[in-house]
Chains A and B, each alone.
Chain A
Amino acid sequence: MNALVERLAGWADRGDFRSVDLGVYRLIFASTMLVLLPNYYWISQFDPAFYRPAPGPFTLLSGFPPPWVLAMLDVVIAAALALLLVGSRTLHCSLLLSGALLVGEGFAYSFGKIDHSILLVLTPLFLGMAGWGNSLSLDARQRGSGELPVNQWAMRAFAVSIGVAFGTAALAKGLGGWLSWSSQATYAYVRQRIERGRLDWLAPFAAEVDLPPLWEMLDWTTVALEGALILCALGWRSWRLGLCAATGFHVGVLLVLNIDFWMNMVAYGAFVLWSHAPATLHRPAPAPAPATHPLVRRLPPATLLAMAFALAAVSLLVAHLHGPSTESLGWVPVAAGLVIAIACLASSISFAVGSARSSSSRRAASRV
């Protein structure tokens, strides 16, 4: 029993992430989120009659919170993102951000529909535990010592969480009739959304494709991909391959159903080895990396913090005056994810071809 636990613990701790990978991702995450800033003050404009929480802790409340609570929630999220950007008190800010997003989304989903942003909510929690503040941050600068190791198990736990989330969707779809040969569920949803006026991207063309076997194949592929993701989490290379496939799936959903799942794309970015360019499925060789960015080294902490808070204030102001930018920019993370997935696959294929060539030439040389 003990040996099994040790083996499982070894598996959980196995990983090729370095703190600089997570540090780069923290910068990408915080800046992306400051542009697509989630905000919840809009909820205050609704009458309490709209309150219809999902089963869970929000049913304990009798209605939406007062406007000042929602305003505070928006301010806390923007401030936590600003602190994450410069990497100050990163672990605390990460936990605070996940908590605030969990509560904010909980109220936003108390109108009857859940919009499945849970992976984005969990990103700061897992990455904070993994140590995304140990590099390219004020925390790292104040600590002054060399590069700290990453808690690889936190990354594994995050990967398994994503696998479980998709597993529930696969099971629910399987039980809901997606695998019935006569259903063509994907086609039915395309038609439904066309009727509701979702006519962007390739939706009108897709609706004209009268090939039931193709639509049925898409149904099966969707369920298979969602169900297989948890198995992909067993190894990092298979996991990154799975995420590349999931990215292709999200691009298809955007083009055909006009649903941009930007939240998931931002979360998948956590598994990219950002310090290794071009992107790849695994780290072929370690590379030295600085613990702090030169800009972070030169500027005084107070200046950096002031700049980050000013950026957060502008983001908050724009989000409140201009409305949510996710409606116009939600496709950008999906497109960026596609580019990274293609680069990742291409560099891995070229690496595999290169390795095969060099090993065959070595074999030929040894024969001579």
Chain B
Amino acid sequence: MRSRRGISVIAVIVLMLPVQLALHRFAGSEPYPALFMPSFGQVPVVGQRVVVTRLTVVASSSTKSVHVDPVELVPNETRLAESIARFFFEDEDAVREVAANGWLRGRLRNIGVEADNVEVTRERLFLDQDSHEVVQVVRVATYAVALDRGPA
């Protein structure tokens, strides 16, 4: 009886392979929870050139401008921090939301930066495979947000 149960469980697990792949394709991104290991997405190579995305955050006040490491703005010390920052700054609406409610100003203050505006730039760098030099830079998006003090 127990063996039958085991075989049923194993059959369900095996069936999950095509079901998960179909869900992934249908939803456009990986579902959770699911039996997945890293697929790394599309290979970041275009015409023999490695593509790297660069995120630049500049915080400015009336007196000065400073480059801020986006990872430092994320209150997390695990390896998730880098991806949290990358995904977050891709979403302009979400950044405007935290700029309006005081959260972003608070985070900047936490790392010792006083600012009234933040400018975010996302670029795609194309690296030559032989020299490893950047041979082309394509700006994907640029936006600026004014930092609010949030609810008093």
B84 at the A interface (CB under 8 A): yes
Closest chain A residue, CB of each to CB of B82:
A196
A189 at the B interface (CB under 8 A): yes
> Of A112, A116, A259, which contacts B88 at CB under 8 A?
A112
List the one stretch of A17-25, A138-146, A172-180 in contact with chain B. Answer: A172-180
> Of A42, A47, A189, which contacts B40 at CB under 8 A?
A189
Kindly list chain A residues whose C-beta atoms are within 8 Å of the C-beta of B13: 157, 160-161, 164
Instruction: Report B144 CB to chain A, min CB distance, Å.
Output: 17
Kindly list chain A residues whose C-beta atoms are within 8 Å of the C-beta of B94: 49-50, 52
Task: Give Cα distance in the complex from A191 to B20, angstroms.
Answer: 30
B43 at the A interface (CB under 8 A): yes
List the one stretch of A7-15, A72-80, A308-316 in contact with chain B. Answer: A7-15
A161 touches B35 (CB 8 A): yes
Task: Give Cα distance in the complex from A19 to B7, angstroms.
Answer: 21
Residues of chain A from 10 to 58 with CB closer than 8 A to chain B in the complex: 10, 12-13, 42, 45-47, 49-50, 52-58
Known: A54-B29, A164-B13, A195-B127. A47 touches B98 (CB 8 A): yes
Give B29-56 as 1s and 0s: 1 = Cβ < 8 Å from A's Cβ atoms.
1111111111111111100101110100
A183 touches B43 (CB 8 A): yes
A176 touches B14 (CB 8 A): no
B39 touches A113 (CB 8 A): no
B39 touches A172 (CB 8 A): yes
B20 touches A168 (CB 8 A): yes
Give A166-188 as 1s and 0s: 1 = Cβ < 8 Å from B's Cβ atoms.
11110111001110101111011
> Of B41, B84, B130, which contacts A176 at CB under 8 A?
B41
Total B residues in contact with A, Cβ cutoff 8 Å: 64
Task: Give Cα distance in the complex from A12 to B4, angstroms.
Answer: 9
Task: Give Cα distance in the complex from A226 to B148, angstroms.
Answer: 49
List the one stretch of B58-66, B71-79, B112-120 in contact with chain A. Answer: B71-79
Question: For chains A and B in complex, what number of residue pairs have CB atoms within 8 angstroms?
Answer: 193
Interface centre among B10, B86, B127, B130 (most CB of A within 10 A): B10
> Of B36, B54, B132, which contacts A191 at CB under 8 A?
B132
> Of A55, A113, A183, which contacts B87 at CB under 8 A?
A113
A121 at the B interface (CB under 8 A): yes
Known: A10-B3, A111-B88. A45 touches B75 (CB 8 A): yes
Task: Give Cα distance in the complex from A13 to B101, angstroms.
Answer: 58
B45 touches A185 (CB 8 A): yes
B137 at the A interface (CB under 8 A): no
Kindly list chain B residues whose C-beta atoms are within 8 Å of the C-beta of A55: 23, 27-32
User: Interface of chain A, helix or strand or loop or mixed?
Assistant: helix
A5 at the B interface (CB under 8 A): yes
B24 at the A interface (CB under 8 A): yes
B84 touches A112 (CB 8 A): yes
Known: A114-B30, A173-B39, A188-B45. A154 touches B6 (CB 8 A): yes
A199 at the B interface (CB under 8 A): no
A-B contact pairs, 20 of them (CB 8 A): A10-B3, A12-B3, A12-B6, A42-B75, A55-B30, A56-B31, A56-B34, A116-B37, A118-B35, A153-B3, A157-B9, A177-B43, A182-B45, A185-B45, A188-B44, A188-B50, A195-B52, A210-B130, A327-B77, A327-B78
- Give me the interface of A with B, judged by CB distance under 8 Å: 5, 8-10, 12-13, 42, 45-47, 49-50, 52-58, 102, 105-106, 108-109, 111-116, 118, 121, 151-154, 156-157, 160-161, 164-169, 171-173, 176-178, 180, 182-185, 187-189, 191-192, 195-196, 207, 210, 226, 230, 259, 323-324, 326-327
- Give me the interface of B with A, judged by CB distance under 8 Å: 2-7, 9-10, 13-14, 16-17, 20-21, 23-24, 27-45, 48, 50-52, 54, 75-80, 82-84, 86-88, 91, 94-95, 97-98, 101, 103, 125, 127, 129-130, 132
Assuming A49-B97, A169-B36, A187-B129, what are 16 further A-B pairs, CB within 8 angstroms?
A: A45-B76, A47-B97, A49-B95, A52-B87, A108-B80, A113-B83, A113-B87, A116-B36, A153-B6, A157-B10, A164-B16, A173-B39, A176-B39, A182-B45, A183-B45, A326-B78
